[in-house]
Structures are given as C-alpha cells and as structure tokens.
Amino acid sequence: MDPNPNIHRQYRSFVTHLECSLTGERYEADRVHGLSRAGRPLLVRYDLEAMRGAVPRIAIQGRPTDMWRWRELLPVRDPKHIVSLGEIETPLVPIPRSGGTHVLVKDEGRLPTGSFKARGLVMAVSMARALGITRIAMPTNGNAGAALAAYASRCGIETIIFCPDDTPEINVREIAMQGARVWRVNGLIDDCGAIVGEGARQGRWFDFSTLKEPYRIEGKKTMGLELAAQLGWELPDAIFYPTGGGTGLIGMWKAFAELEALGWIGSKRPKMFAVQAAGCAPMVRAFEDGVEHAERWENAHTVAAGIRVPRAVGDFLILRAVRESGGRALAVEDNAILKAVDDTAKRDGLLMCPEGGATLAAYRNALAQGLVSEDDRIILFNCSTGLKYPMPEAPLWLDRTQPIDFDAL
C-alpha cells in the first residue's frame, strides 16, 4: 500500500547542491551535512532554470494543497522516504476585532504536533531517513522536540532531547509520550545545545540543532510558498514573525527569491518584522546597533518560551533579510504579549500561543509608530496551538443541590 497516498506518482526534486550561507562554498547534495566548514548554516540550492521550463505555476495549483505540492522545491528525492503525519496548508484567519481589517493570522497551530516545527522536522527527519541516520539529538524549548520525537518515532529513528528545566510541562510530556528520551537541563536552550554538540563530536548522535542541519529550513520555507499561493501570487505588505532561531524568517525569504527566479511572483517583497520578547531580544539589539552578528542575550526570560533563544547561529541571515526587506526587529513586553493573546481569544475566537500574541503586540506598536499603515495587508504568524500553554483559571463552580440563582449565572 502507498503509505503517502496524497503524494502523486510523478515526483521530482530539482535539488542540485548545498551552499555555505556565508562563503558560498559548494557542497554535494544527498550526503550527511551539518554546518559548513566556516561553521555557518548550509542552504539547499535547486536548478530553478530547468524547473522554470518544466513546471508551470498552474501545475502546482492543480495539486492537493499539502506541503508536498511543493516537491520540486524540496530536497527529498524519493517520496518513499517521506515520514508524513498530514502536513496541511494552514489557513489565513482574519482577526478584524483584535487586529484590523487587513490583518490575517497564518494559523500554524493546525499542523501535526500542534506547531510549525512540524514543517521543518518532517523535512529534516525524512532526509535523515533517506541518508541512513539512526540516532538524533536536539536542544529544544518544546515544540521542535515534540515534532522531532513524533516524526523520528514514526520511522524508527532514536531521539535524545534536552530542554531547559522550566520548559512548559505539556511540551516535556508530549516529547516523552511520542517516544523520545527527554532530559530537563538546568540551563537555557544554548546550554542544551552545547551538550548536543559535545555528544555529536563524540560520534554518539547526529546534531539536529536549529540550522545545524540543512533541511529544516527547506520545510519552514513552505510557509512562504504557501503564502504566495494563498494570496494569489502577490506577497503581503508586511509579515510579523516571532523570531527565535529564525528558521522560518530565513526560509520564507529564501522561498520568495526562489519564486521570483521561477517567474511565479514579481519583485515585491513584504517588510519582514522579526519579533522578539523584551526579555530576550538579541536580534533587536543587533539590528539597532547596525551590526551583522548578535551577541548572546544574558538572563533571557519571557512567557513566550519558543522565542527564548539567547543566541542564533543564523543571526546574520535573519538580520540581512529584515534589512533588505525594509522591515525591523521589534521587541515587545510580556504584558503586551498576554494582552494580545487575551484580546484575540475573547474578541476573535482564535486562541493563539504567546509567540503568536507577540506578533500582534508588535503589529500594534508598528502601527502606532507609523512603520505600517491600516491599509497594509498584514500577516501575523501564530506558530503553535494556544492549547499547549497555561491559561488563566476559570474558577466558577455551581452546586446543583442548592437553589440556583439564575440571575447571577
């Protein structure tokens, strides 16, 4: 039986090679790679010229809308390696009452494992499987570990996951439940990353840290591809993206370049707003200082666990995309994040995660500062279902054996 019935029989990737994001040095495709020799992320390259001649835009439009409709622009060569859990196209949900008339939330909480980490990890795990990797370790703030655990367990790859010991309880448990060995560590995500790096140097496992393997970014870039298709091949005016390691922002920026090279979109680009929490804003500081690399943010803290990333190996790629786009890196306070989550839930019925709330809070600030206008078409990213996060108590209780005061209900 075909394990992935949604994937058409005619399957072809136009992948040609990989390239160091800093030096442009070339690396062979279809090999196991970590970082480049310069210690930077590797980017996957495709023969866009050949694809331009072979695959018209309309061919994509005729396919099912899941992630695999973008197969030519993805690194998996043989669909038998795809470890799918049903990666659907996520909807654009208007939030007119809490956001504004032209504000749409791309709701990534609908993906397998409840977050957009599924996009990156389905690709990275499928490639690991294709390349014969059997043991993977990863540092995580929660959602990436959950997605890795799910996809890896599904194809028999062993996983060891390290998270800060104050990672939301539900994330730690979902990781364990989906078959990984998950360790709580008394440190932040980069401290966990150091353990993963040391184990990899000892040859114990393959290092799946953000951007330290080349394929997660290819999965994440499908957010940009999808956006283009959903908006009739005209990109929005601005995108607000909650930025930790920045995979999604870098991936979307790469996707837009690929789409333009194919002639599927024009040269218009959205302003990219990298949103961080005021308690952990290394990209905002680097952006404002006008530098290419961000220093580690000390004593990082925020309610938005997914963007509590003190240091990012792809810092220069995030900053370049933001600057080239005419956007900004913006920091928002935790109270504004929680207020935004509350407003969207109560007024528009959409329960976002705190990181999603951060994008609405940042949009509100950007609007007040005149960085965007009310007539602009805006995309906010809600990266995870709000159901994974602590919610305020709901303490009302009724004793049905006593007389009920219906006026008070």
Residues that bind ligand PLP (CB under 6 A): 115, 117, 143-144, 210, 242-248, 306-307, 353, 355, 383-384
Rounded Cα distance between 383 and 248, Å, is: 10
Rounded Cα distance between 319 and 331, Å, is: 14
Minimum Å gap between C-beta 164 and ligand PLP is: 13
Instruction: Please answer whether residues 270 and 235 qualify as being in contact, where contact means their C-beta atoms are separated by less than 8 angstroms.
Output: yes
Minimum Å gap between C-beta 364 and ligand PLP is: 18
Q: Measured at CB, which residue is nearest to ligand PLP?
A: 306
Closer residue to ligand PLP in complex, CB, 159/247: 247
Q: Give CA separation, 45 vs 15, 21, 210, 294, 382, in Å.
A: 6, 11, 19, 26, 28
Q: Phi, psi (5° rounding) for residue 160? A: -125, 125
Minimum Å gap between C-beta 228 and ligand PLP is: 18
Minimum Å gap between C-beta 305 and ligand PLP is: 8
Closer residue to ligand PLP in complex, CB, 25/333: 333
Tokens of 168: 């939301």
Minimum Å gap between C-beta 355 and ligand PLP is: 3
Minimum Å gap between C-beta 338 and ligand PLP is: 15
What lies within 8 Å, CB to CB, of 176 at 6+ separation is 149, 182
Closer residue to ligand PLP in complex, CB, 305/366: 305
Q: Phi, psi (5° rounding) for residue 372? A: -140, 165
Rounded Cα distance between 272 and 275, Å, is: 9
Instruction: Please answer whether residues 331 and 278 qualify as being in contact, where contact means their C-beta atoms are separated by less than 8 angstroms.
Output: yes
Minimum Å gap between C-beta 118 and ligand PLP is: 10
Minimum Å gap between C-beta 388 and ligand PLP is: 8
Closer residue to ligand PLP in complex, CB, 355/376: 355
Rounded Cα distance between 350 and 98, Å, is: 10
Closer residue to ligand PLP in complex, CB, 100/246: 246
Rounded Cα distance between 148 and 163, Å, is: 13
For 148-242, list the strands marked E by DSSP.
158-164, 181-185, 206-207, 238-242
Rounded Cα distance between 349 and 10, Å, is: 41
Closer residue to ligand PLP in complex, CB, 79/357: 357
Closer residue to ligand PLP in complex, CB, 82/118: 118
Closer residue to ligand PLP in complex, CB, 283/371: 283
